[in-house]
Structure 1
Amino acid sequence: MKIVFMGTPEFAVPTLKACIENFNVAAVLTQPDKPKGRGKKLAYSEVKEEALKHNIDIYQPVKLKNDRETMDILKEIAPDFIVVVAFGQLLPKEVLDIPKYGCINLHASLLPKYRGAAPINWSIINGEEYSGNTTMLMDVGLDTGDILLQSKIKITEDMTAGDLHDALMVDGAELMVKTLRGIADGTIMPVKQDDSKSCYASMLNKEMALIDWSKSAKEINNLIRGLNPWPVAYTKYKGESMKIFTADVLGKNKGEIPGLIVKATKDGLVVAASDNYLAIKELQFPNGKRMSIESFLNGNSIEEGIILE
């Protein structure tokens, strides 16, 4: 089967590899090179780097819907499938109509829940028990196409967004191969999404990362896990930003003000939330390194009795 692959970040790479191993990938589309780092040198996307290893033709339209030349190339290729994984652009109907079997998208949620940009993060922030991948037949809407296959992954209590990202990234590659084979041999039938059960996973921003200590310890811990590795939850200690990477929920708050630092030991920085205590395990101050509370307290001190803001 002839495939055109569209994707950009690391999340898409295992699926690209699986497509290369199992099918004929005729071309790869990815986002244009972007300036990175202090020198602002142009950097390739992770998908472009992988495609270069296999000498696959690469196209990088700024906006595919306005790129007549790339659109004509896609029609000349006449692929059986266009596979889309975190490409970063909405596809116009003209492109959706090109492949024989359609455009197949991998989305990192159990649709119709968590349509949109940040499904992995929001599933953790909202305390979901499960996440997963969905392959779907793309239409002109945002993650609204008919469902093809789904796979579930349990969200454990200590799982961060980074951990879940990595698990779904590997799982998604296998699911995509199953999906393409199942469509081609007629064993998979598309199922319409129930729009009444949908919810939107909006883009993340740094403003949402500020911790509200009047919330429950579990809600705060979910936020910490859901925003690790980016943008990272933070609080203010004596006016300074303190990023928090990992924490544990402890026993019941015995009447302390939410945000109060109750104890600072190598086992954790214990802070009162509205219902329970939270033990901060990993943190980072401005111009400092991310480190465990034990390492931090070896060369620094944190004052008990301070209220975090």
Structure 2
Amino acid sequence: MTDAHLANRAVVFAYHSVGVHSIKVLLARGIDIALVVTHNDNPNETIWFESVAALCAEHGIPTLFEPEADALFNAVKELAPDFIFSFYYRNMLPVDLLALAKRGAYNLHGSLLPKYRGRVPVNWAVLHGETETGATLHAMEAKPDAGAIIAQTAVPILPDDTAFDVFGKLTVASEQTLWHAIPQLLAGTAPTITNELSQGSYFGGRKPEDGRINWQQTGQQVYNLHRAVAPPYPGAFTDQNGHRFIIKKARLTALPKANLPQGICVVDNVIFGVCGDEKALNIAELIYEGKVISPETCKQLLESS
């Protein structure tokens, strides 16, 4: 191994599509990836994203799956990496582990820090009706998403984008951010921008129950919830007449008729979700018991005793 490679040695913690594409960027930029640490897939989770483990197997990169803390520390210490990178790895890395990186430890976060620190930032941004988000490469420290900002790339959130749509854009933004930052990190010339804690908020993870629809909210609020959790995420749902319905595909529209009750209804063979203002969701695909149902079937379920 050459001295140049030794100066560019990295240990990478990665998962998800961002992890896959970020590893590809490191390889293309000549980074010597000595080890990748990743997660085992959760059998209870819908795995719609690309596999870091499969990529590492293809390239012959040594891989560990959720190792014990002591074993992980010793493995990284022995490798003496120049860099540690975290790309959508789901666990916080302890400070003593980060300190093993001789030239710095960096994380890719799915928002334009300091906004939307914490978990599932794309889903939160869509839920709150943001029109822009992006990818941020920042230094890692004890507090999550709080280290100095190295580089950022913004992407638009269009009015009908779902979180899945935005995540696709974010994956490309992550590639771009890392691609432009790596030469500066290697040269020791990467700029740093203060990541002001006072200017951003932390957000926690989301559970399937958080997708429950409150039809008293405005149409835009309900539509944002749908967009934020639409499949392949668990989906926005409502319980009506003893049945649970999950919205798969919808668009925001005006009420088709006046004085419709709030919630799911069928008008002229079209399924609507009536909200608390003069708006409704025109529901193109509604799921019941795991299958997309027709307006006729929906009407029958709503009218059954």
**TM-score, normalized by length of structure 1?**
0.86
- How far 1:158 moved relative to its partner? 1.4
Instruction: For residue 226 of structure 1, give the secondary structure of its aligned residue in structure 2.
Output: helix
Residue of structure 1 in register with 2:111 after alignment: 109
Which of the numbers 85, 90, 93 marks the counterpart of 1:91? 93
> Are 2:149 and 2:192, in contact at CA under 8 Å, matched by a contact in 1?
yes
User: Residue 173 in 1 paired to residue 170 in 2?
Assistant: no
Q: Which residue in the other structure is 1:300 paired with?
A: 297
Letter in 1 for 2:267: K
Partner of 2:18: 11
Match of 2:246 among 243, 246, 254: 243
Runs of 4+ in 1 over 6 A off after TM superposition: none
Residue 133 of structure 2: aligned partner: 131
The letter of the residue matching 2:124 is W
Point out the more displaced range, 69-78 or 148-157. 69-78
Q: Which runs of 5+ in 1 are unaligned?
A: 39-44
Matched, 1:51 2:49: no
Alignment partners' CA distance in 1, 2:103 and 2:80:
11
AA in 1 matched with 2:55:
E
Aligned-pair distance for 1:285? Answer: 0.2
Residues 69-98 of structure 1: CA distance to partner in whole angstroms, max 9, x if unpaired? Answer: 332221232222111011122111111111
What is the aligned residue count?
A: 288
More deviation in 200-209 or 250-259? 250-259
User: Unaligned 5+ residue runs, structure 2?
Assistant: 1-7
How far is the alpha carbon of 1:109 from its aligned partner? 0.5
* CA distance in structure 2 between the aligned counterparts of 1:256 and 1:208, rounded to whole angstroms: 25
Aligned partner of 1:160 in structure 2 is: 162
CA contact (8 A) 1:264 1:304 kept: no
1:147-193: CA deviations, max 9, x gaps?
11111110011111111112211220221122222222244221121
Using the TM superposition, give the Cα deviation of residue 119 of structure 1 relative to its aligned residue in structure 2, in angstroms.
0.3
For the 8 Å contact 1:124–1:161, the answer to whether it is kept is yes
Give the counterpart of 1:231 among 230, 234, 238. 234
Structure 2 equivalent of residue 36 of structure 1: 43
Inter-CA distance 200–246: structure 2 relative to 1 (3 Å threshold): farther
- Aligned-residue offset at 1:301: 4.7
Q: What is the percent sequence identity of the aligned residues?
A: 27
Instruction: Note if contact 2:120-2:204 (Cα within 8 Å) is conserved in structure 1.
Output: yes
The residue identity in structure 2 corresponding to 1:110 is L
| Per-residue deviation, residues 124-149 of structure 1 (Å, max 9, x unmatched) | 00100101000000001111111111
CA distance in 2, matches of 1:35, 1:224: 24
Letter in 2 for 1:170: V
Q: Which amino acid aligns with 1:15?
A: S
Within 5 Å, which residues of 2 pair with 1:138-153? 138-153=140-155
The one-letter code sitting in structure 2 at the alignment partner of 1:279 is N
Seen in structure 2, the aligned counterparts of structure 1 residues 300 and 91 have a Cα distance that, compared at 3 Å, is same
1:237, distance to aligned residue in structure 2 (A): 3.2
Out of 253-262 and 275-284, give the one that drifted further: 253-262
**So what's the TM-score if we normalise by structure 2?**
0.87
